[in-house]
Structure 1
């Protein structure tokens, strides 16, 4: 019976410490802007969507790479 009481009190102490640490710890930081979804743009040549921060623009059109920027917008049927 003594061993049961000892294990019981050890479990109570660990649970109290765990609860105390959860409520005392700093709140988790809110999601930063970098973690949020980046605005996407469509390549005028191939149609692939890329993050606007990585895209290249010319004449209000967006391109996924320098090669597509140099080739210009796609002129065929799609």
Structure 2
């Protein structure tokens, strides 16, 4: 019986020790704010894409070079 109590005490100690040594990601003081992106609408298909990724043509901004060629005939 003493051996069983000793074994339970050792297991409880190991469990508590491992629980206290978990690696957790660092917590920052404030949450990161995401940058908002300006979106433009493709006049051919209506898809909204970020302005920096859009293909610019003479008549506006398009989601791809193929849609620019289709709309402008270039």
TM-score range for the pair, normalised by the shorter chain length: 0.5 to 0.7
What's 2:53 paired with? 54
Structure 2: distance between partners of 1:71 and 1:17: 61
Aligned residues: 66
Query: Is residue 2:27 matched to residue 1:27?
Result: yes
Structure 1: distance between partners of 2:32 and 2:58: 34
What's 1:76 paired with? none
Structure 2: distance between partners of 1:60 and 1:40: 17
What's 2:20 paired with? 16
Q: Secondary structure at the match of 1:62?
A: strand
- Structure 1 stretches of 5 or more lacking a match? 74-78
Structure 2: distance between partners of 1:2 and 1:14: 18
- Structure 2 stretches of 5 or more lacking a match? none
